[in-house]
Each structure stands twice: as C-alpha cells, then as structure tokens.
Structure 1
Amino acid sequence: MNRPDEDLLAKYFDNLLDARKAGEVLDWLSTAEGQRYLDKELEKDFSSLDRAHKLLLKPRLTAEDILRAAEPSRSQPIMNPKPRPMQQWRIAASIIFMVCLMGALAYFLSGWNNYEEYHTAYAESAEVALPDGSTVHMSGNSHLRFRPNWKADEPREIWFEGEGYFTIQKKAAANRFTVHTDRNFEVQVLGTTFTVTARPSTSRVVLETGSIALNVAGAAGNDQIMMKPGELVEMDLQHDLLIKKEVAPEHYTSRRNDELVFSKTPLKEIIRILKDDYGFTVIVNNEEILEEKFTGVVPSKNVETLLEGLSSLLDVEIVREKNIIKLIQ
C-alpha cells in the first residue's frame, strides 16, 4: 500500500476528508510503515511537552494503542456491525484529542510554564524586584526569567542572560538562591551581592559581599569553585580555562550607578561592552591599540555622553554611523 502524501495526511488529521479517503489513510496507518509514522508523530508531540505533561501522560500511548482502540475488541463477541472506516477514524481522532486535552489541562493547572520575564534593550537598564525582596540591576541587552511564587521551604531559582548586579536576601539553607545561565555555569548563594556576566563572548562572576559556590560545566567535567569577596572568576569555556583573581568589585558593579569604571582596562574589553550592552559594531583602524589599557569613569546611561567620554578617555576620534562606531587614532 502506497503512503498517502503529506497534504492528504494533514487533511486527515484536520478532519477534512470524506469517509472513503479517511478510510484509506486509516488503512495505511494500520500498516507497519503507518505505525512507525504515527509513533514518530506522537514522539515528536510528546517531546515538545514540559515535565508536567509528561508525568501526566506516562505511560505514553503508542500508534498501536491508538489503532487498537479505533477497532472493535477481538476478545469479546461483536454484537454490533463493524464500524465503518469513518467511524474508526473518528474514534482515533477522539483519542488523540483527549491526549491533547489532558496535556493542556496539566499545562494550565501545574504552573510549570508560568514565568515572569524581563528584557532590557541595548543601552537600557532596569532594576527588578524578585519575590523574596532580592533585586537584580540589569544592564543593556539582558534577559531575566523566574517563577512568580516562591515557597518558604523551597530553593529560589532564576534564569539570566546578559549582565546584572544581584543583591540577594539571606535565607535558610533550604532557600538557597541559584542563578542559571545558558553559558554552562550557575551561581549558588544564600545572601550576598555580586555581578554576573553571561554573554556569548564573556562568562564572568565578581563577588562583592558574602560567599558563593560557582558551578562550572566544562569538557573535563563539573567544577565547583568557592568564591570570597573581592574575587573574580572568568571562564573561557571554549578552551576549558578558568581564571580566578582578586579585583576591586566596585569596578564591576558601577553599572547600577549608571557609570562605567575602568581600571587598567584593555580597549578590547571596552569594545566588548559597546557590542554586548549597546549593540554597536566597532571598527578599529589600528589593531595595536586593542591591548592598550585605560583608567577612568564615564557615564553609561546616555549613549552620546558615553561616546563623548570614551573619546576623551581613549584619546581617539569616534565616528558614529547609526550602529557602527569607528575608532580612529
């Protein structure tokens, strides 16, 4: 039996076929090839569910289960006429509909996907209060996500991408606070202040007060690094390198005061900030200056003021053309 084309299958599942065509499709779904196809589609739908769906639907229905349910039982005498193909199709479609309905019910009742999300645009900053009274000062081009209701006896978790300054309320051990990132590291704390940078080009944590455990997933396995106030850990996950050193935290936490503080900062790091936080493409006419180090303070809230301050600090001419910046020495 030939496989129905994709258009016919789509119309079948959308209930757009007459009884004869629907029966032909159902007959094909009863074949070994058809069952493999239906299993694959069910697996695809199941994989897209969150944990609440999956817990509710285990053990999963297979194509064989659905097709068996669409046919009369063979273990009991058949008292009624055999269902016509259209009737079989309606039974199968009803079962699939019930599976989807159960999943949707779990979705809305469980709250697994109930998140509050905050985004900052390039050059924008925002301060977000978390459910426990902790705060996150987000730099430009950052994303924060967390569940709105935190229970007193459960861990506190947020998901963060970008750069932010965290002030975390101290709680009991059962309420440990975890910052998850997409950069293969997470930060676990009880009560502390620190800065997290989780960018495609840079992964870094600077601890200002308290203590934290930094969990890093690298090629050689998972490492846990205990940090003390005044320490910086920078991760080059591509090359599986970790750098830990003592720094002045105020140079990394100044964003919350709408300032950029540089202390012997290489130009390439300043360019990274312009790219990641402000969305600029930076062109340098002399790459030798990339390793030059600069010290100073410039305002960060207004882009024009920022560029004027950088021009004076770096002693270069800055030419801006929309989102392209040229540094001319």
Structure 2
Amino acid sequence: MESPISKSVVFAYLSGQATPIEIQSVDDWLKKPGSYEVFCFMLLEWEREHAQFTPDREKAIANFWERVESPSELTATSYGSVPAKAQQGITRIARRLLTIAACMTLLVAAGWLFSDKLLYKTIHTAYGEISRQVLPDGSEVTLNANSSLRFPRLGFGKDTREVWLSGEAEFSVVHTDTDQRFIVKTPKDFQVEVLGTEFSVFTRTRGTKVVLNSGKIRIDYRKEGKPAQLTMRPGDLLKMDESGDIRMETTKTPEEHSAWKERRFVFDGTPVSEICQLLEENFGVIVRPSNGEIGERSITGNFETQTHEELLDILREVFALETRKQKDTLMLYQKQEPTIFN
C-alpha cells in the first residue's frame, strides 16, 4: 500500500524529531482507514535500525518527561479485521507496552515513580542568568540569577497551587475559577499565599524580602516558635532578617524591587557591603571591602549592568577604589594617589 506520508517523516515522528507540522500530518494520516497497517511496518523497520542499549536511568527519566511534556498521541480507531503481517506489528507494539508496564512496576518497587524527580520539575538559573517560566496554571514567574523554582510536573492540586522558591523571583499569578490558593514556600518556615496578584520574593542566606505590586497576599511565618500571619497590600515591603525578625515598610516604587528583570540595579543609600552580597548572589563573584569604613559607604542611583565587572567598575569609579585578588576573593581597597616627586 502506498503511503501519502514518507518513511523519513514517520521515522522522525517515532524518534521525536519531527516538526509540529509533520506531527500533525502523521496524526491526521493515522485516522484514515488502512494507515495503521503501513504504520506498523514502518515501526518495525524503525526499531530494527535503532538498536537497544543499556539505559542511563537519570537520562531516561529526563527523556521520558520531555516526551510527556510535548506529547503527540496516536488516536485509537476501530479498523475491523487486521491482516496477519499487521498483527506482527501490533504484537510488537503490545510487547513494547508490556515493557513500559514492567518498567513502571520496577520504578514503583525502586521508589522512583513517586520520587521528586518524577513528580516535580525544578528550574535552576546560573549566575548572571534570568529565566521566565509559565507554570501549569498559566501563572508567570521570572527567576533571577542563582535561583531555583520547584513545582509539580503534572499540574496543581484541586485546593492549592504550591511552588518552592530558593533565591529571588517575581510572580504574576492568575486567578482560577475555583479560587485556588497560590502558595510560595521558602526554606525558612516562611510562605506567601496569594489570589491573583503580582509580587516579588527574595529569599537568600542574609534574609527574606517580599514586595507587593498589586492585589493582596498573606504571609505565614513563625514568631517565637508559634504560627503567625500578616496581610500585605500594594506598596507594602516586608523584610525578615536572619534571626527571623520581621519589619514592614512601604514603598512608592514597588516595581524597582524587580528591576533586576531588566538587568538594572536600583540603589537608595545602599551600602557597599550590601552590594558585595549582591555581586556574590547574582554573579557568583566573592567581593569584600578591605575595612569597615569602605563597607559602610553608600550609593544612590539606577544602574544598568550586564556583568559583574560593570557593577564593580561603578564602585571603583564612584568611590575611587581598586580591587586586589586574594585567592578566590576580590578585596576593595582605597585607590592610592600617585606620589609626585619634585
């Protein structure tokens, strides 16, 4: 039987390398009577040309989820009686399905089926990298450098939408018909609960910060070992230090706290010591002031920087500093005035 679909297209379809148009053309062709027999023969030929190998479990799981998240499913159709040769292809498919079932049984026995790697997806950003991600519910997250976000692969539950953040991110949360709560959890017994709003969360070693752009959010935390709550409104700025003490402020420009999305740093009386922490958190570069006086100097302004060197250049120029490398640390020293001899 002549096929309107070329073998190369079907092979690309089976290997996951077909274009969206090719995938659609194969899916449409498989709905036509008689196409299934030809497809089975092509499947047998493709399997003969692609020898099996001992799989890498980590890589296999990653590939499995890649295919799950970009599926191209065959449509089940009734075709009546099937010729003997086609039955061979169907038998091969059945064996493959049994193999998959056996693998799933092994995964259950090994505790992998319900492990984090299968149930949850984690996105990491490198130093200097900013990433945007659309969550299963349509909410959008912009992840700052050196941060990670973990969320369910197969969609959120019925009552809540929970994600786990380490680092810094801005969230734009969509409202659901069932009023599902959206919860951002952090490693510090601190979580943000929202219903359709825009806000940013900063959670790193030196403390936690939440800025609300619009809407309304509730903060759940622990105070003296007991659960506590507070509500934030647009313009509120919440800060929690390393000891767990919380301070609430207001800001007229909440959007400036997520200026990092545009690779901008907005400083308002920001000390050099804090900028050194920003350099380490965002670029992985360890910078330290050589003395307390340099660390306490402050700067105000809006600076666009793509690299850590550009930000260091600002410090060098504004405060007349120079950097000296000591092992893996850049130390900030006051630049020495050249000696003039008469």
Distance 1:242 1:162 in 2: 18
Q: Deviations over 1:207-232 (max 9, x none)?
A: 11111101112333111110111111
- The structure 1 residue matched to 2:168, chosen from 159, 163, 168, is 163
Q: 2:248 aligns with which of 227, 244, 247?
A: 244
After TM superposition, give the deviation of residue 165 of structure 1 in Å: 1.4
Which aligned segments of 4 or more residues in structure 1 are displaced greater than 6 angstroms? Answer: 109-112
Amino acid at match of 1:187: V
Structure 1 residue 153 displacement after superposition: 3.6
Aligned with residue 281 of structure 1, among 283, 286, 308: 286
TM-score (norm 2): 0.60
Q: Give yes or no for the alignment of 1:149 onto 2:154.
A: yes
Query: What do residues 229-269 of structure 1 show as CA deviations (whole Å, max 9, x unaligned)?
Result: 1111111252x411110123133110111111111222222
Which residue number corresponds to residue 295 of structure 1? Answer: 300
Candidates 169, 175, 181, aligned match of 1:176:
181
CA distance in 2, matches of 1:315, 1:249: 31
Relative to 1, partners in 2 of residues 1:299 and 1:325: Cα closer, same or farther, differing over 3 Å? farther
Query: For residue 325 of structure 1, what is the aligned residue in structure 2?
Result: 330
Distance 1:302 1:280, change over 3 A: closer
Partner of 1:221: 226
Q: Specify the code of the residue in structure 1 equivalent to 2:199.
A: F
Structure 2 counterpart of 1:208, which letter?
N
* C-alpha separation in 2, matches of 1:306 and 1:102: 48
Q: Is the 8 A contact 1:255 1:300 kept in 2?
A: no
CA displacement, residues 113-132 of structure 1 (integer Å, 9 cap, x when unaligned): 51111111122211111112
Secondary structure of 2:119's partner? coil
**What is the CA-CA distance between 1:139 and the residue it aligns to?**
1.3
TM-score (norm 1): 0.63
Which deviations, in whole Å up to 9, do the C-alpha atoms of 1:242-298 show, x marking residues without a partner?
Answer: 111012313311011111111122222212211222222222123123233211122
Q: Secondary structure of 1:182's partner?
A: coil
Q: Distance in 2 between matches of 1:326 and 1:148?
A: 43
Number of the residue aligned with 2:269: 264
CA–CA separation in structure 1 for the residues paired with 2:126 and 2:106: 37
Deviation at 1:320, TM superposition (A): 5.6
Q: In structure 2, what is the Cα distance between the partners aligned to 1:122 and 1:102?
A: 34
Output the CA distance in 2 between the equivalents of 1:155 and 1:125.
27
* Structure 2 CA distance for partners of 1:319 and 1:170, relative to 1, 3 Å: farther
Is residue 118 from structure 1 mapped to residue 123 from structure 2 by the alignment? yes
Task: Say which is worse superposed, 151-160 or 309-318, in terms of deviation.
Answer: 309-318
Q: Given residue 249 of structure 1, which amino acid in structure 2 is its aligned partner?
A: P
CA deviations 1:150-185 (Å, max 9, x no partner) are 258431111110011111112246411100110120
Distance change >3 Å, CA 191–CA 174, structure 1 → 2: closer
The 8 Å contact of residues 181 and 193 in structure 2, kept in 1 or not, is answered as yes
State whether residues 317 and 327 of structure 1, in contact with CA within 8 Å, keep that contact through their aligned partners in structure 2. yes
Q: CA deviation at 1:309?
A: 3.0
| Superposed counterparts of 1:46-57, under 5 Å | none
Q: Which letter maps to 2:240?
A: M
2:206 to 201, 206, 212: 201
Contact kept, 8 Å, 1:136 with 1:166, in 2: the verdict is yes
Aligned partner of 2:247: which letter? I
The alignment of Structure 1 onto Structure 2 pairs a total of residues equal to 229
Inter-CA distance 237–281: structure 2 relative to 1 (3 Å threshold): closer
SS in 2 for 1:309: helix
Give, in angstroms, the shift of residue 197 of structure 1.
0.9
Measure the CA separation in 1 of the matches of 2:333 and 2:268: 22
Q: Secondary structure at the match of 2:283?
A: coil
104-113 or 215-224, which moves further after superposition?
104-113
**RMSD value, Cα:** 2.6
Q: Quickly say closer, same or farther: Cα 1:277–1:214, change in 2 above 3 A.
A: same
Matches within 5 A, 1:76-91: none
Shift of 1:301: 2.7
Q: Residues 102 and 277 (structure 1 numbering): CA distance in 2 closer, same or farther, change over 3 Å?
A: closer
Contact 2:156-2:162 within 8 A present in 1 as well: no
Output the CA distance in 1 between the equivalents of 2:132 and 2:272: 28
1:165 & 1:315 partners in 2: Cα distance?
34
